């Protein structure tokens, strides 16, 4: 019994300490990472990393589906770079998927001439369907529509000049849906256009991929972000710009994306100009052009430059020829006072006052929005100045650089608060 009881005795403090030390010597030591070092639900990629990620996806699809890498690129792009979606469609109906993506059937692809060397040549001259010139050799895709080298060059050059849709170029033959492979662009394009095509080839991994987006920093950033998991509320790029994944705007919590969209429209569209016109102008009774009265008497003259030259009273909008000393002179209108008592101008004045109130309210919030935006941008400049001050604090007061890291965190927190107040 004594032996069995000893099995349940708690280890002494010395034994526990020695056990902890022995565990520390091994590889199982738990490391607590700071919050910023923990895995984020997205990956920030530079241009080179985008290319590496794209090549890995193409190779994986090529090995899985047993197709060339050129065909794998077309299949992935047409399926928004979703390998699971492509895999399901491919194994459900391979020929249908090939046709939808602009590829030939497996049998025609195997028996067709190589796209890299392209086409067929014979001793008998043939007529090119585009330039109608007799040629010694025509070059074709696996669809069999042959064209001369000059026409291929002209066609592919025009495709590249038209924009990034060149990666979706199809056979020049009318109603032929066969996709032009990368090797044809490499063979028939000049150096400048080939480099431009390579850029669009790379960008297609981001532009045609819903799980990858470019950083939306208005100052310019060439990084791309790949989402891995649930939509994060904010993306913090390595360029220090923080933005919202769903809408692409600058981070705007706690406001939702719809509110931010409406605010941006209000700031950029002509809606506020219309509100200002409603609040501060009246229409000429004759030509209906808006007129602003910023000073002076009630005698208004519609400018002949862009107007009609009609003279009228600012208050009642009646013909000025009917006004005089009996109606109140230049600074008062008895006609308007009488009409106001009868309620003839009630709706018009109500609309003008509502527009003026809405405009004043908008200006109130817009001024504060711009002030917080200016203060937020100021923290970016202050952070750059802090980079110069930290080494000086280290030299003058012997502070460890790591001890001064809180200064950067404080600036980022101020920036975050200013962003929230916007």
Catalytic residues: 297
Residue 257, Ramachandran bin (φ over 0: left; ψ between -120 and 50: alpha; else beta): alpha
Q: Is residue 178 within a helix (H) or strand (E), and if so which, with residue range?
A: none
Rg of the chain taking only CA atoms, in angstroms:
36
Cα 173 to Cα 150: distance, rounded to the nearest angstrom: 15
Cα 323 to Cα 329: distance, rounded to the nearest angstrom: 7
Cα 110 to Cα 114: distance, rounded to the nearest angstrom: 9
- Beta-carbon count within 10 A of 73 CB: 25
Asked if 293 and 300 touch (Cβ cutoff 8 Å), the reply is: yes
Cα 161 to Cα 156: distance, rounded to the nearest angstrom: 9
What does the block give as tokens for 382?
């202050």
Phi and psi angles of residue 184, each rounded to the nearest 5 degrees, phi first: -70, -40
- Beta-carbon count within 10 A of 332 CB: 12
Sign, Cα dihedral of 247, 250, 252, 255 = negative
- Beta-carbon count within 10 A of 172 CB: 20
Cα 77 to Cα 51, 288, 356: the distances in Å are 14, 55, 52
Phi and psi angles of residue 325, each rounded to the nearest 5 degrees, phi first: -65, -35
């Amino acid at each position: 019994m004594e032996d069995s009881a000893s099995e349940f005795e708690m280890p002494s403090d010395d034994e526990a300490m020695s056990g902890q030390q022995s565990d520390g010597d091994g590889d199982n030591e738990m490391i607590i990472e700071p919050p910023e070092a923990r895995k984020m639900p997205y990956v920030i990629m530079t241009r080179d990393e985008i290319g590496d990620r794209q090549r890995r996806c193409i190779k994986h699809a090529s090995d899985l589906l047993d197709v060339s890498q050129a065909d794998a690129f077309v299949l992935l792009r047409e399926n928004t770079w979703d390998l699971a979606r492509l895999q399901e469609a491919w194994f459900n109906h391979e020929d249908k998927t090939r046709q939808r993506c602009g590829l030939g059937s497996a049998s025609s692809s195997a028996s067709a001439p190589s796209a890299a060397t392209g086409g067929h040549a014979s001793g008998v001259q043939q007529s090119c369907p585009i330039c109608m010139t007799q040629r010694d050799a025509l070059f074709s895709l696996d669809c069999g529509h042959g064209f001369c080298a000059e026409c291929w060059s002209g066609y592919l050059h025009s495709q590249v000049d038209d924009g990034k849709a060149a990666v979706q170029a199809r056979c020049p033959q009318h109603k032929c849906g066969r996709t032009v492979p990368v090797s044809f662009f490499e063979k028939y394009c000049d150096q400048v256009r080939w480099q431009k095509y390579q850029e669009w080839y790379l960008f297609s991994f981001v532009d045609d991929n819903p799980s990858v987006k470019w950083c939306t920093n208005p100052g310019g950033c060439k990084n791309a972000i790949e989402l891995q998991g649930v939509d994060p509320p904010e993306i913090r790029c390595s360029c220090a710009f923080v933005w919202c994944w769903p809408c692409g705007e600058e981070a705007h919590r706690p406001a939702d994306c719809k509110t931010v969209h409406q605010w941006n429209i209000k700031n950029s569209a002509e809606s506020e100009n219309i509100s200002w016109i409603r609040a501060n102008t009246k229409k000429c009774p004759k030509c209906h052009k808006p007129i602003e009265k910023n000073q002076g008497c009630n005698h208004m003259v519609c400018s002949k430059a862009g107007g009609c030259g009609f003279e009228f009273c600012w208050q009642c909008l009646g013909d000025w020829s009917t006004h005089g000393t009996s109606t109140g002179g230049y600074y008062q209108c008895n006609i308007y006072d009488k009409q106001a008592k009868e309620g003839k101008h009630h709706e018009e004045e109500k609309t003008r006052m509502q527009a003026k109130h809405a405009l004043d309210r908008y200006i109130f919030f817009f001024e504060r929005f711009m002030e917080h935006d200016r203060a937020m941008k100021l923290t970016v400049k202050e952070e750059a100045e802090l980079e110069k001050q930290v080494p000086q604090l280290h030299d003058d007061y012997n502070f460890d650089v790591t001890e001064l890291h809180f200064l950067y965190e404080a600036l980022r927190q101020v920036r975050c608060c200013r962003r929230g107040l916007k």
